[in-house]
Amino acid sequence: MASTSLKGPKPEEHDGSALRIGIVHARWNETIIAPLLDGTKAQLSKCGVKDSNIVVQSVPGSWELPIAVQRMYTASQVQQSSSGGASSAGDLLGSSTTDLTSLGTDAPSRPFDAIIAIGVLIKGETMHFEYIADAVSHGLMRVGLDLGVPVIFGVLTVLNDDQAKARAGLTSGSHNHGEDWGLAAVELGVKHSLNV
Ligand code: DLZ
């Protein structure tokens, strides 16, 4: 029997070989973040996105995701207009940058076609969860609309560790949501680059 999903759209297939994709992830709940990041990158590669066109940065927590996405995109626009692309998007986030190896000399100096924001918010005993989840989801939407770039919402807002593991493909038979975010970035990136 063909596998179907009750949730989520049937993925559209797109060629990501010409895309430049940014990823910003939080470092809170890193045991969940790591597989989500892996799943995202694996799906980008499957769609043809070149390693040299995937730039990964990190921030302390999900709260910082909107400002990091905004600065990452803006920096990539500056890169395009400055000769030689001397400053990297990562420079703006200083020591929080985790992986700039992908900003190789062959990396095209042009704005990202899509940026994926990854975070894991797990409800605790206080109101932190509610405030952060609300602000981050609104912030990411606002940044995307203000800048006119697709921002993929890769933020889990879960009630406990088990729910988080089940969404990161860490429990038997579970699905890694990072793969969906990679697919969404390629679809939106292609449509964005074609202006559709
Ligand atoms: C403070 C905090 C708490 C309580 N929980 C989480 C969480 O579950 N996931 C997450 O990504 N970040 C959390 N943070 C950190 C905030 O997002 C933020 O990094 C700090 O408040 C500093 O601004």
Note the pLDDT tens digit of each residue in 174-190: 999 999 999 999 999 99
Choose the weakest-confidence range: 91-100, 110-119, 139-148, 177-186.
91-100
Q: How confident is the model at residue 5 (pLDDT cuts 50, 70, 90)?
A: low
Task: Please indicate whether residue 177 is annotated as part of the active site.
Answer: no
Q: In the predicted model, what is the mean pLDDT of residues 7-30?
A: 91
How remote is the CA of residue 91 from the centroid of ligand 1, in Å?
23
Contacts of 49 (CB under 8 A, 6+ apart): 16, 17, 19, 21, 186
ipTM > 0.95, yes or no:
yes
For the chain, what percent of residues have pLDDT higher than 90? 73
Q: Ligand 1 centre from 117 Cα, in Å?
A: 14
pLDDT band, very low/low/confident/very high, at 195 (cuts 50, 70, 90): confident
The whole-number pLDDT of residue 116 equals: 98
Residue 53 has pLDDT above 90, yes or no: yes
Asked whether residue 82 carries a pLDDT value surpassing 80, the answer given is no
Q: Is 3 or 135 the better-scoring residue by pLDDT?
A: 135
The span from the CA of 59 to the CA of 171, in Å, is 26
Ligand 1 pocket test, pick from 24, 27, 28 with the greatest ligand atom count within 8 Å of Cβ, gives 28
CB atoms within 10 A of CB 85: 18
For ligand 1, atom 7: residue with the closest CA: 121
Distance 137 CA to ligand 1 centre (A): 14
CB 56 within 8 A of CB 90: no
Choose from 11-15, 19-23, 107-111 the range with maximum mean pLDDT: 19-23
Superfamily of the domain at 21-193: Lumazine/riboflavin synthase (3.40.50.960)
Q: Is the CB of 60 under 6 A from ligand 1?
A: yes
The residue length of the chain stands at 196
Comparing CA positions, the residue from 182, 185, 118, 180 lying closest to residue 155 is 118
Query: What pLDDT, on a 0 to 100 scale, did the predictor assign at position 84?
Result: 52
